[in-house]
Each structure stands twice: as structure tokens, then as C-alpha cells.
Amino acid sequence: MTDDGGIAELVRGALSEALALLLPVVCAGCGAPDTTLCDDCTAAVAPCPLARMVDAPGGGVTVWSGLVFDGVAARVIRALKEEGRTPLARALAPALTAAARRLDARDAVLVPLPTSRGAYRRRGFRVPDLLAARAGLPVARLLQPVRRTGDQRRLDREGRRRNVAQSLSAAPCEGRRVIVLDDVITTGASVEEAVRALRAAGADVIGAVTVAATPRRANERRPRGVAFETHR
């Protein structure tokens, strides 16, 4: 006869086997088994900082990104954001650090784009804040949403600008040196809105940093005022 402890152990064993079938650990970059991120994919998310300029009221700002949002880097960032694979933040942190180093960050604080209530409820964490924490960079949550915005994913640059215009407000921060922080820059519309709100609150915006930047498509016209360059 099996005692209760034995039954509990059997149940636990069966459960962990079932979970292993449901949630096998595979490399987020290539799907190789039994690793969170294999050596090749870890090498693929090594920083290669690139810059672009984003227009903003009061003057354009330089946005430094640690990686191109493409291939392995894009899959790893999606696995972090959409599958909640938070251990991957550690592998992405060097890209954020490298991007931040390109700006004169002395006495500056990183101000993350706010995470919507829905996204926070779904994920249980804030993506930009987690990345900054893993990079050892201090953040100040000075920005707050003042209205809901629609899903950005299917919108073009102008659509995104309209969607996020006047959607943020910043806590008073007169004379404070700040760097806008986001996970991925796509069209720059969210960064532009963050810069607008921070400047309206008195901040001295030094620039912006993201872990990754989407590549420009070959058939896409270069948006006005946006330069794209890479620095290895």
C-alpha cells in the first residue's frame, strides 16, 4: 500500500513530466533543446549599436539601439515580451548598456515608456523596466498615460503618430537630465510623444535608448528627418 507521501510524490512527478511536455525549454533564438539561449544565439544578440534621429517638438533626438530587430534578436525579444521568458532579459541587457553608453548619460536617469495596464496584467512585468534592471541602469517612472491608445501594430508612421499624440503626461521634472527608454523602436512615434511630454514638464531630454530598432524596409521611403546608421 502506498502512503499519502508516496501518492503526493507520484502526483508531483506526473505533473512535472506533464509540464515538461507542455513547456520544454528550447533556445529562444533557434529552438535547440534544453537551453534558454544557445551559445550561437547569445553571440547573435551581442551589441551592435545603431542610431537614428526622431523628430520631436523642440528639436530632434538621437535614439541609440543595441541591436537590429531582426532574426535571432527579434525572436528573443518576442519570447521575452510575448511568452514571458524573463530570464532572456539578462542576455539582452548588454545591448541596452551599449546603447546607453553612446549618450552622455552622466547624472541622467532613464525614463521608461509606461506599460499599459492591460499589458502589465497580461505579462506581470514591465519590459523596459526589467531590461534596465538587468543592465543595472536606474529608472524613474516619470511618464503616465493620460488616455488609452489603440494597437500600434497595424498602423503606419502617421497613423501611429496620431494614435499616441497627447497620450502621455510627465511628472514635474524641471531641469532634470533624462533619457527616454523603450524596448523596441519602430517608427519612433512613441519616443516622440515621450519627448514631447517630458519637455513640457521641464526635462532636459538627452536622447533615447532601446534594446533594438526595426530595420528599414528596402521598399519603404525614408521617413522625413530620420537618419539610420550603424556603428560597430
Q: Are strands 50-54 and 61-68 parallel, antiparallel or unpaired?
A: antiparallel
Of residues 12, 16, 38, 43, which one binds Zn ion by CB under 5 A? 38
Q: Using CB under 5 A, pick the residue from 18, 24, 41, 213 that binds Zn ion.
A: 41
Q: What are phi and psi of 50, to 5 degrees?
A: -135, 155
The Cα 128–Cα 77 span in angstroms is: 11
For Zn ion, give the closer residue by CB, 38 or 77: 38
CA pair distance 45, 134, nearest whole angstrom: 15
Cα 32 → chain centroid:
24
Place of cell 505533473: 15
Q: How far apart are CA 91 and CA 93, in angstroms?
A: 6
Confirm or reject binding of residue 27 to Zn ion (CB under 5 A). Answer: yes
Is residue 30 a contact residue for Zn ion (CB under 5 A)?
yes
The pair phi, psi for residue 187, each rounded to 5°, is -100, -15
User: Least CB distance from residue 45 to Zn ion, whole Å?
Assistant: 10
- Nearer residue to Zn ion within complex by CB, 74 or 140: 74
Contact between 209 and 62 (Cβ < 8 Å): no
**What is the closest distance, in whole angstroms, from the C-beta atom of residue 91 to Zn ion in the complex?**
11
Q: Tell me the closest approach of the beta carbon of residue 15 to Zn ion, in angstroms.
A: 28
Q: Which is nearer to Zn ion, 29 or 47 (CB)?
A: 29
Sole window of 32-40, 130-138, 156-164, 194-202 interacting with Zn ion (rule: CB under 5 A): 32-40
88 is a site residue for Zn ion (CB under 5 A): no
Let me know how many helices (H) and strands (E) the chain has, helices first. Answer: 8, 8
The nearer residue to Zn ion, 36 or 190, going by C-beta atoms, is 36
- Which one, 86 or 163, has the nearer CB to Zn ion? 86
Residues that bind Zn ion (CB under 5 A): 27, 29-30, 32, 38, 41
